[in-house]
Structure 1
Amino acid sequence: MSTEPTPDSTVLDEYRDEVSRPILRLFTQYGRPQLHWFTIGVITSTLARFLGLVPPIILGIAIDSVFNDDEAYSLPLVPDGWIPGTESGQFWLSVGLMGGAMVLAAIMHFFRMSTLNLFSHRVKHEVRTDTYRTMQRLDMDFFNQMQTGQLMSILNNDTNRLELFLDNMTDSAIQLAVLVVGIGGVLFWMNWQLAFVTLFVIPVAALFTYWFMSLVEEMYVDIRQTVGDLNSRLENNLGGIEVIKSATTEEYEGERVEDSSYEYFRQHWRALRMNFVYRPGLQILTSIAFVSTFVVGGIWVVSGPPGPFTGTLSVGELVTFLLLTQQLVDPLAQMSEVIDRYEDAKASSSRIFALMSIPVTIKSDPDAADLGNVEGRVEYDDVTFAYGDDEPVLHDIDFDVDPGQTVGLVGPTGAGKTTILKLLLRLYDVSDGEVRVDGHDVRDVTLDSLRDQIGYVSQSPFLFDGTVEENITYGAFDASDEEIERAAKRAEAHDFISKMPEGYDTRVGERGVMLSGGQRQRICIARTILNDPAILIFDEATSAVDTETEMLIQRSLDDLTEDRTTFIIAHRLSTVRKADEILVVEDGRIVERGDHDDLLAEDGLYANLWSVQAGEMDALDADFIEQASQRAAMGVQDED
């Protein structure tokens, strides 16, 4: 099984290669504001681990002094005058110190877990929100190339991976460092010769770990990519479930999901197989250290120093060695999980910072002026536009619109009608020429002030998962109930809303799935009315509704456009019949212009399109039919 690489993978790869030291950047950029919590977590974690070393040390001293009476009772850093003179007193002092160390360690663990978790969750929150804010400012070209599932994977999966690393693995790394340093110091203090036997595994484990990291780093990059691919496939299929059911393609889509899932499994299995070598390898090393300590120490206690070793070793010291060595076994064995999480977090943070590194070209200049109140004059001055370095899709677009006029844009599919008006919204910037509003080049005013003055209603109305009222007031959140109802009435929506189970408080479902297409469209129109823009754009606003609903929507449009500059993109030419001027667009050029009657009299492209919709096929020009066939064969589509 295999899956084809998604086209958006190269979008992130291009910028991911430029991201250096992503984990360090994560700490410096997002961890610094939460540094106080991290510092408390590190300190309490360190104290907790050192307190964990106290019981084995005291136990070894008690065995030699209290139980075997081999040596005088003496504690490190404790004055002899504080130590009881009786064995009973020394016993209970040992019990008290061990118990106190354990209780205090538990308290330190509480603060460790609280502060490190707070640190990791706050960093995750800041990363996610910052990533989203950055993402929504990116150009439309980016969203045309990236799949929604990939973006969701970055916002959810990748940020969650960071939290797992910052929370659990940071503490594990601290634990390992403290225990290696602490236990190593204690063991060398007690018997430096036997300490070499116990700790020889540390440099071997370090080399083994370096080898492991060099192999798995790229594997985790591939894993994060395949997670995004799988999310994209699932998101697409869930969004198109109605099409899948109606086309009875469940088996086909099931196989495609299986392919994506298998690719994720395959990439993950590669990394797991490396872990299956690495983790047992570390366990073998730590087991060798424990057994070696027991063998050498046992011979030393029973028969005296073996081989090159010199001096004495007591039973208590051997017990302390064994207990401390055992404490070192688990953290060393967990090193694989630390490295595992680290590489996973590194891959995730690379994707996140790659997304943040993508440049934004459509943005307000620092010295951009506020557009202010708009009369509604719009000018296109010899506009040419191309996507990136591709061939131009618009050529010499030139027209003027006076305030309050209605302009229709018609033409074959893929002619460039929608693209023309996206330049007005500044979703894209012109390649040459100017688009002006009230005499201001749209590139010289702030994006917010420009878009606040333009209302856009598309042929695919989008509603958020919420109530009817929440969707109408989107962008005008402080509107009163009277204003909401007035806007709904003007959009011919109030009557059907009032008949819904909970009226304006009725939930519409994801993307407005609980409503019909016409109802969704009228709610979107009500939203536009409530925002009260000076310029309106209707992009095929009635293309997907029945004739009766079209009549209702047309009534609301006539009322709404009465005193506003309005652009109407339409395939149904009846929608623009009353427009002050109609622009006929073909192959990215304006080939005809005028009102309805003038264009019919011209007997050109518009007249042919009108004949098609009127059912007058016999009146069609042969060249028009040939051109329509070529366009259909090419499968050209309007830009969204």
Structure 2
Amino acid sequence: MSTADDESVFDRYRADVDRPMRRLFGTYGRDRRGWFVLGVLANLVAQFASLVPPVVLGAAIDGVFGVGQFQLPLVPDGWLPRTQAAAFEFSLVAIAGAFVLTALATWVYGVAANEFAHGVMHEVRVDCFEKLSGLDMSFFDDKQTGEVLSILSSDTENLELFLDDALVSSVRLGTLLLGIGIVLFLEQPYLAVVTLVAVPVMVLFTLWFMRAAEPRYAARRSSIANLNTRIENAVAGVELTKATASEPYETDRVRGASRRLFDDTMHMLRLSYFYRPGMELLAGLSFALTFGVGGYWLLVGPPVSGAGSLQVGTFVTFLLLTQRFVSPLAEVSDIVDRYENAKVSSERVFGLMDIPPTVTDAADAVELTDVEGRVAYDDVTFAYPDGPDGANAADDEHAGRDATTDGGTDATTGGRADEGPVIEDVSFEAEPGETVALVGPTGAGKSTLAKLLLRLYDTTEGAVRVDGHDVREVTRDSLRDAVGYVGQDAVLFDGTIAENVRYGRFEADADAVREACRAAEAHDFITDLPAGYDTRVGERGVKLSGGQRQRIAIARAMLRDPAILILDEATSAVDTATEARIQRSLDRLSEDRTTLAIAHRLSTVTDADTILVVEDGQVVERGTHDDLKDGDGLYAALWAAQAGEGVVDELVDRADADD
């Protein structure tokens, strides 16, 4: 089980989920209850039809091949044939007809049950992903990717297996036991009591097993998620691992997570393998007891006075029907196994569904239209949330990097609200068409300031305004439609170049895509590719170089044509010559737009209208490049460290030479 130290946001909300299986059926089964009812009815028909052959066989042994009268439970004697030949023909037709009816009803049952199960799980998967995509950035700062994937794949799969398999088996078993019990009591009540005496013991044994198994299943699910996270992190960081010769270290970490899963799995299986043989033993003893008492009855006489008579055919029917429920009862362990897995998984699914977003549209939010691009930060203070649904950007592997960047360079100074704000009392304005640059040391909070404009987080104090509107008072879609973002790491999805450029403007035609790529200086290299704009870029764009990926991202922003632009270290991940080429396309992109440019290389923002120097979450200097360069503050020191004014000329010269 998760400890207090490694408890995730899922665990905290999962603990509050009440009656998860009832909630699963109530939330997702209600609209598909027609399929469920049809499946149950078809199952009843199939199971009761399957009981006909052994009952008819027993009656035939006594009434056709023996000396007794041909009789069937619940069937009036006047409906039954009186001659042996007619009784034989009747038995043959009844047995064959029962098999046909069982097959047809089983087919209907299977179709209906699967329509119900897979339909429910389709809705659960989609709702889980929709909920996940709607959560705040603070959730993703604190996320464990492996656990997220575990919920969307393994947990929903467990629910599907229960609804598709275990639920089917439990309904079949319940119907079968009910039908067998009815038939046995109609045939011979005393022997029926003997046969079914083990059932209450099995029920009590099962209840004990479920109570003992539940925490073990929960621990195993947690271990699976932990191992998934460990492997995902190791694969994502394989380049660093190899560069630092840390393969043994990562292997030890995976080995530890795998060992925890092994221990939790064996802890569960030891109990399960005690339960399964126990159920098989009880079912077998029930059969043996029926055989012993029935055989004694036929050989010696009734075991107790008043028990009545027992015919050979009836005894055969008892043995056949008892054998019919021995195997299904032994399957109860599999049903319980599926149920416990599904219960834990549904708790985790609803734990995810119950995480409340904090960045939401106000009830009276208005659409942001006709955006001019005036941006103002009024006494903005921000601290990362520290709560069940909040982020802690400084914890564990997140320490030392900004939770808001795309794998970027702007680390925060903490992450917990109780460690103080990461942005404090920041105020500035950008008029329409102006460029404001944010520079400063790594970890100063520059990217966090930019993300507040996109409202990926809400300010703790103060306000961010666009055209005079507090961003919390406008709809998020209209705000983000007005703001374009180009980050350090260009995010590309597996698909064609054209599809990636269109992302966010999916209706754009081919001419608009090409025009955006020309403006981003990407058209030439795209047309040189064998498939041109239909070239698949691979997962995360691995088939393209860093500079090519970045120009695709710039083309995407150009196609969106936003009034406000955020450039977050957009050139820091490429070489200097490529940087100059990208910088030209960025200059073209930022023309006539309000631009917030976050820069590590100061040479890229020398033409900014205003430069803000950010340190420890505060603006410590502001002015133009010339004013700040000639001063004796932090900017002047950073400029001197980056080789001064010669950097710009060198970049341009190299780019021109390459072209």
Give the equivalent residue in structure 1 for 2:147.
150
Whole-angstrom distance in 2 between the partners of 1:395 and 1:250: 41
Matched residue, 1:30: 28
What CA distance in whole angstroms lies between the structure 2 residues aligned with 1:253 and 1:51?
59
Residue 585 of structure 1 aligns to a residue whose secondary structure is strand
The aligned counterpart of 2:531 is: 502
Task: Report SS of the residue matched to 1:67.
Answer: coil
Pick from 614, 621, 633 the counterpart of residue 604 of structure 1: 633
Residues 1:244 and 2:273 are matched in the alignment: no
> Hey, what's the Cα distance between the residues in 1 that align with 2:147 and 2:12?
15
Q: Distance in 2 between matches of 1:310 and 1:41?
A: 39
CA distance in 2, matches of 1:549, 1:409: 22
The 1-side partners of 2:242 and 2:4 are apart by 25
Q: What number of residue pairs does the alignment pair up?
A: 613
Deviation at 1:4, TM superposition (A): 9.5
1:382 partnered with 2:379: yes
The alignment status of 1:584 with 2:613, answered yes or no, reads yes
Kindly provide the CA deviation profile for residues 220-240 of structure 1, in whole angstroms up to 9, marking residues without a partner as x. 111111111111122122222
**Residue type of the alignment partner of 1:66:** V
Q: Deviations over 1:87-115 (max 9, x none)?
A: 11211110110111011101111111111
Letter in 1 for 2:348: R
1:44 and 1:109 in contact (8 A); partners too:
yes
Confirm whether residue 47 of structure 1 aligns to residue 76 of structure 2.
no
SS at match of 2:630: helix
What is the CA distance between 1:69 and its match in structure 2? 1.8
Q: Residue 407 and residue 8 in structure 1: after superposition, are their counterparts in 2 closer, same or farther (change >3 A)?
A: farther
Aligned position for 1:333: 330
Shift of the alpha carbon at 1:603? 1.9
Query: Is the CA contact (8 Å cut-off) linking 1:465 and 1:507 kept in structure 2?
Result: yes
How far off is 1:559 after superposition? 0.8
Q: Which residue of 2 aligns with 1:206?
A: 203
Q: What is the identity, as a one-letter code, of the residue corresponding to 2:472?
A: R
Deviation sequence 1:434-479 (CA, Å, 0-9, x none): 1100000000000000001111111111110111111000011111
Q: Tell me the residue number matched to 1:563.
A: 592
Partner of 1:637: none
| Secondary structure of the corresponding residue to residue 245 of structure 1 | helix
Give, as a single letter, the amino acid of the residue that structure 1 aligns with 2:101. L
Q: In the aligned structure 2, how far is the partner of 1:20 from the partner of 1:281?
A: 31
Name which of structure 1's ranges 262-271 and 531-540 shifts more when overlaid on structure 2: 262-271
Q: CA deviation at 1:398?
A: 0.6
Q: Is the 8 A contact 2:73 2:186 kept in 1?
A: no
CA distances 1:42-64 after superposition (whole Å, capped 9, x unpaired) = 11111111111111111111111
Over the aligned positions, Cα root-mean-square deviation in angstroms equals 1.5
Deviations 1:523-567 (A, max 9, x none): 001001101111000100010100111011110011111100001
State the distance in 2 between where 1:240 and 1:394 align.
Answer: 30
> Which region of structure 1 is more displaced relative to structure 2, 292-301 or 226-235?
226-235
CA deviation vs aligned residue, 1:480-530 (integer Å, no higher than 9, x gap): 111100100111111111111211111111111111111111100100110
**Range with bigger deviation, 244-253 or 490-499:** 244-253
CA–CA distance in structure 2, aligned partners of residues 203 and 603 of structure 1: 87
Counterparts of 2:225 and 2:343 in 1: how far apart (Å)?
16
For 1:524 and 1:155, how far apart are their aligned partners in 2?
28
CA–CA separation in structure 1 for the residues paired with 2:77 and 2:318: 24
TM-superposed deviation, 1:308? 5.0
Is 1:173 aligned with 2:202? Answer: no
Matches within 5 A, 1:212-611: 212-307=209-304, 310-388=307-385, 389-390=417-418, 391-611=420-640
**In structure 2, how many angstroms separate the alpha carbons of the residues matched to 1:145 and 1:484?**
36
Q: Match for residue 119 of structure 1?
A: 116
The code of the aligned residue for 1:59 comes to: L
Alpha-carbon deviations, 1:111-164, whole Å to 9, x = none?
111111111111111001101101111111111111111100000000000000
Specify the alignment match of 1:21 in structure 2.
Answer: 19
2-side partners of 1:477 and 1:548: how far apart? 32
CA distance in 2, matches of 1:50, 1:258: 52
**Equivalence for 2:57:** 59
C-alpha deviation, 1:168, in angstroms: 0.7
Given that 2:602 and 2:639 are in contact with CA atoms closer than 8 Å, whether structure 1 keeps it comes out as: yes
Cα displacement (A) at 1:78 = 3.8
Q: CA contact under 8 A between 1:8 and 1:145: conserved in structure 2?
A: no
Match of 1:337, as an amino acid? D
Q: Distance in 1 between matches of 2:630 and 2:247?
A: 52
Given candidates 105, 108, 127, the residue that maps to 1:108 is 105
Mapped to 1, the partners of 2:461 and 2:603 lie a distance apart of 33
- Aligned counterparts of 1:82 and 1:386: Cα–Cα separation in 2: 84
Matched position secondary structure for 1:567: strand
- What is the CA deviation profile of residues 25-73 of structure 1, one whole-angstrom value per residue up to 9, with x for unaligned ones? 0001001111111111111111111111111111111111111122x22
Match of 1:39, as an amino acid? Answer: V
Distance 2:121 2:308 in 1: 54
Query: Where do 5+ consecutive residues of structure 1 fail to align?
Result: 617-640
Counterpart for residue 624 of structure 1 = none
Could you say if the C-alpha distance between residues 497 and 474 of structure 1 is closer, same or farther in structure 2, counting changes exceeding 3 Å?
same
Q: Deviations over 1:550-606 (max 9, x none)?
A: 011110011111100001100100010010110001111111111100111222110
Matched letter for residue 494 of structure 2: D
Tell me the equivalent position of 1:620. Answer: none
Displacement of 1:7 in angstroms is: 6.3
The equivalent of 1:11 in structure 2 is 9
Specify the alignment match of 2:66 in structure 1.
68
Q: Distance in 2 between matches of 1:252 and 1:615?
A: 42
Judge conservation of contact 1:380–1:435 (CA < 8 Å) in 2.
yes
Unaligned runs of 5+ in 2: 386-416, 646-659
**Distance in structure 2 (CA, Å) of the matches to 1:217 and 1:265:** 17
- TM-score, normalization: structure 1? 0.94
Supply the distance in 2 between the matched residues of 1:40 and 1:261 (Cα, whole angstroms).
43
Residues of 1 paired with 2:274 and 2:498: CA distance?
58
Give distance in 2, aligned partners of 1:191 and 1:426. 75
Q: 1: CA distance between counterparts of 2:139 and 2:277? A: 44
Alpha-carbon distance between aligned partners in 1 of 2:561 and 2:56, rounded to the nearest angstrom: 78
Q: Percent identity of the aligned residues?
A: 55
Q: Which residue of 2 aligns with 1:619?
A: none
User: Deviation at 1:8?
Assistant: 6.2
Amino acid at match of 2:618: R
C-alpha distance in 1 between matches for 2:224 and 2:542 = 28
User: Residues of 2 paired with 1:162 and 1:218: CA distance?
Assistant: 18
Does the Cα contact within 8 Å between 1:51 and 1:101 map onto a contact in 2?
yes
Instruction: Measure the CA separation in 2 of the matches of 1:79 and 1:284.
Output: 39
- State the Cα distance separating 1:307 from its structure 2 match: 4.0
For residues 202 and 150 of structure 1, the distance between their equivalents in structure 2, rounded to whole angstroms, comes to: 40
Q: Distance in 2 between matches of 1:4 and 1:366?
A: 38
Distance 2:462 2:277 in 1: 67
Q: Partners of 2:455 and 2:4 in 1: how far apart?
A: 28
